[in-house]
Structure 1
Amino acid sequence: MSVTLPDFRIAEPLLSQVLMILDQQIDPYLNQGFVAANMVTRLALAGKRLQLGLVYRYPCQSSYQQRVMSLTKALAVLDEIDEVECEIDFQVPAYAQAPDSNLKQIKQIIAVASGKGGVGKSTTAVNLALALASEGAKVGILDADIYGPSIPLMLGVTSFRPQSADGKSMTAATAHGITAQSIGFMLVDDQAAVWRGPMAAGALIQLVNDTLWPELDYLVIDLPPGTGDIQLTLSQKVPVSGAVVVTTPQDVALMDAKKGITMFQKVNIPVLGVVENMSFHVCSECGHKDHPFGADGGSEIAKRYNLPLLGSMPLQLTLRESMDKGTPIMVANPDSDVAGIYREIARKVGASLATLQRQAQVSISVEDDE
C-alpha cells in the first residue's frame, strides 16, 4: 500500500531521515508508525527548529505530552534539529452515511451490548462515553434500553424532559459534557413502557432519528440485553460503526455474550472487543485479590472469537455508588485506577474504529484502481 504524503517543506536528505524516525515511532493503539498511519500533516524547518504537525484519528489527549516528549527525544539525534515544535490535532474519520441522513452530523456510532442483563452494560456505556469525551471527543449517548432505562439516573438528569419546537424533533439533555437521550426522560416516576417488541423497536428509531443531535464524533448506544427486535432493528436502520460486548466471568454470562457476538457477526457489524466487568475484588483491608465470579472468562471468550479484551473492571463499591448518585467514576474520581481503565478502553475503541475506516478506504481505493 502506498501512502500519500503532504507537501513537506524540508529538503532531502533530512526529509527522509525525519520520516524514517517518525515511522519508527509505533503508535501503541494503531500498531503503525506515524507515517504509515497517515498521521503526519506538516513538516517544516525554521533554522534548526522542526515544525511538526500530527493528526490523531482517535481520542488520546491525555497522552499528548508524553508522546511529544518521546518524539522530541527521537529526533534529537539529528544534528540539523535543536528543537521540535509539535502541533497535534484530532479528527475522527466519518463512517459512510447518506448526505440526507438525520445522523449525518454523527461520525461514528458505537453499540454497547450484552447477551445477559445485570453485567454492568449501562455502567460501561456511560463511562465509555465520558472517557471518550475526557480524551477530547464530542460524545453523545442514547439509552436504547426501552424497558429499563437507567441513563437518566446514572447521569443525574432524571428531571430533564425533551422539548419540541416543531412537533417533529426533540431536544436532548446535556450532562457532564456529553449529550444524552433516553426514553426515561419521557416516562414519569415509576411509569413503565409496556410495549411489544415492534413498538419498542419503533420507539428506538424515533429516539435516534428525531433527536436534535449536535455534531458528534461518537454516539454511544446502550442497548438492552439480549438479541431481539431492538438489536436487529438497530443493525438494519442505524449505521452502527462497531459494537462492544460486555460480560462478567460467570459461565452463564459468557454463554449469552457469545450469542451477542455471533449476532453482530451475522448482521455485519464489527465487534470491537470485550469488556469484562466484576473481574476481581481487592480487599480494602489486606489488598488480597479475589475472583468471586470466576477468572479469565472474558479473555477466553475474546480469544475464541479473535477479539481484543478491551479491559477488565474490578468489583468495586465506589463504582456502583457513583452511578447511583449520578456522578459516574469518570466524573467523581477521574484520576482513579478505574477511570484510567475506562480511558484505556476508550482509546482502544477509537483506534479500532479508525483502523476499520482506513481499511475500508484502502479497499475502495484498490477496487477503483482495478
Structure 2
Amino acid sequence: MLVLGIESSCDETGVALYDSTHGLLAHQLHTQIAMHAEYGGVVPELASRDHIRRLTPLTHASLQQAGKTYRDIDAIAYTQGPGLGGALLAGASFANALAFALNKPIIPVHHLEGHMLSPLLSEEKPAFPFVALLVSGGHTQFMAVKGIGNYTLLGESIDDAAGEAFDKTAKLLGLPYPGGAKLAELARLGQPSNLHFPRPMLHSHDLNMSFSGLKTAVLTAVNKIRTETGCDAELPEQIRNNICREFQDAVVDVLTSKAKQALKQTGYQQLVVAGGVGANWQLRQSLNNLPEVRTFFPPMAYCTDNGAMIAFAGAMHLASAQPAAGFNVKPRWPLSQIVQ
C-alpha cells in the first residue's frame, strides 16, 4: 500500500511517499526558516500562505522521485494537529481535496505520534515495547509504547518544553533565529566556569519536568554579569558560550535522569528519542551512554517536522482507516487523547 504523507503543522512543509512493502520511496521538505528569520520567530499567517504555495510542487516532486503517479496512491495521511491552526488547515484542505478527487481513504495523524514512530524509519529500528522521549519546541514527554496506538503517558513538562526553553534562552542571549540550534553550537565552545544553573525537578520522584525556571536562572545570571562588568551591550563571547554550555548541561542532565527513571519504572531496555531536540549532539551523546539500554534516534533528516513520519504513521493505521466525508484540524490536541 502506497501512502502519501502531508505535514504542515508549523513552519515546514513536508511531503513523502511510504510503501508498506518497500519502505520510504520519496521525501520532500521545504523549511520556512529564512522567511521567518526576519521577524525573529514564526509568523502564523505567513506560514499558512507558504504551505499553500509549496504543497502541490512538493507532491509532484515526491511522485517524480518515487516514479509514481497520483493513480498509484492508495491512501493519504495528513497532520491533523497539534500545531498552528491556519497551517494545519492548509495541509488538511490539500490532503482531503486530493483524497476526494482520487476516491482514496484519508488518515488524520497526530503530529506527536508521527515523531514518536519516526525512529522506525531507520535501518536499525526498535522493537515494541519501548520508552519514547518526545522532545521538541512544543512538547517534552515520556511515553510507554507497547505497539501502534498503544501508548501510556508517563510524564511531561509542566510549563516550557525543552526546545522552547532553548529558543527563549537563545533569544535572551541575542542569538539569531532559530536560536536553539545556534545555542547548541556555541555550547561546544563553552568552558567550565563558576556558572551553575538549577536542574529543575531532578529529584521530584516522578517523570514530570519544568524548564521555565531554568530560563529565568539564565536571565538572572546575564543581568548579574552585565552589572558586574558594566556591559550593557552584547556579552563577551566566551562568557556567552559558557552560559550556553551550562544551560545545555542542565537540560541534558534533567532529560537523562528522567530517561533512566522511565526505563527503570517500565522495566524496558529500549529508549526512542524523537523531535527536534533529538538532534542535539550532547543529548544524543548522553543518552547513547546509558548502561544496558539501546537508544534509537530517527535519521537527522526526520528529527524536525517532515512528511515521512506522517506517511509512515498513516501506513501503520491504514488497516483501520475509513474514508472521511469531511475534515477538521486540532490545533490543541493533547497526546493523552490518543493514549490508552
Of Structure 1 and Structure 2, the greater helix share is in: 2
TM-score (norm 1): 0.26
